[in-house]
Amino acid sequence: MDGVRRRLCVHRKGATRALPPGHPDLPGDLAESGQPVLVPGTMGTASYVMAGTAGNDAFWSSAHGAGRVWSRHQALRRVRGEELHDELESHGIAVRPKSWRALAEEAPDAYKDVDAVATATQSAGLARLVARLVPLGVVKG
């Protein structure tokens, strides 16, 4: 900030490392592409594979998931596991939960929009989009 070199410890709470192509800490097989950044969505939404980019001024950090908007308790009050199971199955997503409660706690509506998170991540120059993945099956437990 003031031109003085400092040694820092970066703690990535809610984030993951996203080293850019050519970074010396990358293994040889990732040197050309940059570090993989996995951005999981929910059991009913997409997930993303992204890669670190040059120019990331957030200490080479990036989001590592959609992030919750409801607490687990809020999700249990708003969602019935049995209904969520039927909804996901109707979209062709096979669901095998340990319990209805566990399923309800992880309801897709309890999380931020992962598409918006991935778009914001790319727009901010933190990571670039490599692939968008959609769920075929879910095992909770």
Active-site amino acid positions = 64
**Residue 138 in contact with residue 92, Cβ under 8 Å?**
no
Angle value at C-alpha 63, between 130 and 65, nearest 5 degrees = 85
Backbone angles phi, psi at 90, to 5 degrees: -65, -20
Q: Which residues contact 12 (CB under 8 A, 6 or more apart)?
A: 61, 64
Instruction: Give 55's Cβ-side CA count (13 Å radius).
Output: 7
Strand residues in 40-113 grouped as ranges (E): 47-52, 61-63, 94-97
